[in-house]
Amino acid sequence: MFSIKTYFALFVGYFSIVSLVQAADFDFTPTLQKAHQEVFKLRLEGAKKLAASEKSTNPFRAYVEHYAETIHLLNTDTEDAYNAFLTHEDERLDAIEDLDEQSPYHRFLRAEIKLLSAVVRIRFGNEVKAAWNVIQAAKLLEENQKLYPQFLPTYKSLGCLHIVIGSVPDNHRWVLKLLGLKGNIAQGVAELRRATKDKEWGNEALLTSFFIQEFVLKFDERENTELLNTIENQSDNLSFYWLATAISLKSTRNEQALKLLKKAPSDPSYPALSIFTLYRADAHLLKGDYVEASRLYALYIRQFKGKSYLKEAYYKLALCQWLTGDSTKAQQSLSRIPSVGVAYAESDKAAEKFYESYSKTHQLPNKTLLKIKHASDGGYYEKAAELLTQLTEKDLETPKERAEYYFRAGKVFQRTHQSDQALASFEKAIQLSAKESWYFAPSASLQIGYYYQEKGQRQQAKAYFEKAISYKKHEYKNSVDSKARAALTEMGFDS
């Protein structure tokens, strides 16, 4: 599964209005349309008030309320609210199931509720039931597509599922066949593209397309420009700011992330999203402003009442404290990692894995190497290159540090268009870490695969993407495998 951050982005903007003729049971009133738009913009309280003014038997009210409750739960992460959510889910599904089966909304709304519920269940660690939700939703959407092929909302969600299904590595595809799940990336991309042209649901499909490009496929400058233009045209839509910030932080566009964080709407009609505190902290960490990053990580730890990303926050707080010269506080922060939160997200798993290593060696990272990582991850390549000149392999004490040194050097050379040096550095990183459970070898293999793919050298690219998938136990396996699988499919190696 993908990290929870990235799942939140996938489902946060799914729902708007439809202009098709509706069966009597499915009355999408103007008030509910407005409520739906408000949820999409993340104005949850206004949306809930509008929905509450409609008949309790209206299925679109149930739908809007489930959507709003999902966003609230992902933001607050509390067990009591989760238990109430599960009760509401059953009630809402039962109510819709009793309505007119001849409407395309009969299957569509049930599928969407199940997908939202799957996201919440993943957040709370119930992946088995979440998977069952996804399977049920896929079946409903496939039936809807066959019965109502012109009903565009189906393609928005079905396209997402087909892309995710298509990115599953070969060694796991037998499970999909056993469950009867079919689809490929090209099919899913075409379905999403079709949905973006719909005047009523296009924004939701567009937001989903941006997510898919970054977290499953490849997010290039063309997609980035389109995303920024979308934000300019919808400046009151917090969901687009939210996704754009996540993508900017993920794709070495830290200055862009800082600008988005300043511009994002924050008046009282929007909830205070806890994830934005983490994003601000991450942005200052990548910029090298460790004092402000420390303040923001500590703020998240104090204010957040749930369990997600606490391990990550303590880990990154410790890094900031270490880099500002306070090793005692850094050790104290690290000591909290095993006892707080949960490790469902990849970032929390990475923090937990770091602590497990630290508890055995009591060794903190090389400071210069850590600064190189932050600078290159933020897109500050000149700074990263300058820091690289301050290190040689002889300065690094452990095999892991030496492997990371070459991986970071490869990233800097790659981004500064020094391809030969980048390839040599990535190969050295693979050589030094191939037998370990570190992420440097699979990530370096992925980057070499991209290089050969861009050069049109298909067999070399295929070999490296398959190599990336072959590594078994690193903390970023899900995301690396998905991207490698997507690249293989794009080149026509889909099975």
Q: What is the CATH number of the domain that holds 127?
A: 1.25.40
SS3 of residue 476 by DSSP: coil
Instruction: Examine residue 97 and state whether it is found in any structural domain, yes or no.
Output: yes
What's 306's DSSP letter? S
CB neighbours (10 Å) of residue 468? 28
Closest to 157 (Cα-Cα) out of 201, 214, 98: 201
Closest to 184 (Cα-Cα) out of 211, 158, 207: 158
Closest to 274 (Cα-Cα) out of 474, 21, 50, 42: 42
Q: Which two tokens mark 218?
A: 């490849």
Instruction: Examine residue 77 and state whether it is found in any structural domain, yes or no.
Output: yes
Q: How far apart are CA 434 and CA 245, in angstroms?
A: 33
Q: Which two tokens mark 349?
A: 């798993």
Instruction: Examine residue 348 and state whether it is found in any structural domain, yes or no.
Output: no
Instruction: Examine residue 436 and state whether it is found in any structural domain, yes or no.
Output: no
User: Who's near 52: CB < 8 A, 6+ residues apart?
Assistant: 61
Whole-model pTM: value is 0.87
Instruction: Examine residue 306 and state whether it is found in any structural domain, yes or no.
Output: no
Q: Each residue of 332-355: pLDDT tens digit?
A: 999 999 999 999 988 999 999 999
- What's residue 24's pLDDT? 54
Q: Which two tokens mark 491?
A: 């080149």
Range of the domain at 124: 4-272
Contact at 8 Å (CB) between 136 and 118?
no
- What's residue 199's pLDDT? 75
Instruction: Examine residue 419 and state whether it is found in any structural domain, yes or no.
Output: no
Closest to 29 (Cα-Cα) out of 44, 51, 47: 51
Q: Which two tokens mark 404?
A: 């990371």
Instruction: Examine residue 299 and state whether it is found in any structural domain, yes or no.
Output: no
Q: How far apart are CA 447 and CA 473, in angstroms?
A: 19
Which stretches in the chain have pLDDT values below 70?
1-24, 169-175, 494-495
User: Who's near 483: CB < 8 A, 6+ residues apart?
Assistant: 167, 216, 217, 218, 446
- What's residue 402's pLDDT? 94
- What's residue 51's pLDDT? 96
Q: What are phi and psi of 56, to 5 degrees?
A: -65, -20
Q: How far apart are CA 437 and CA 30, in angstroms?
A: 54
Contact at 8 Å (CB) between 32 and 50?
yes
Q: How far apart are CA 96 and CA 57, in angstroms?
A: 9
Instruction: Examine residue 98 and state whether it is found in any structural domain, yes or no.
Output: yes
- What's residue 164's pLDDT? 83
Q: How far apart are CA 262 and CA 258, in angstroms?
A: 6
Q: Which two tokens mark 227?
A: 């995303």
What's 492's DSSP letter? T
What domain count does the chain have?
1
Q: How far apart are CA 127 and CA 106, in angstroms?
A: 26
DSSP readout, 74-109?
HHH--HHHHHHHHHHHHHHHHHHHTS-TTSHHHHHH
Start-to-end Cα distance in the chain: 21
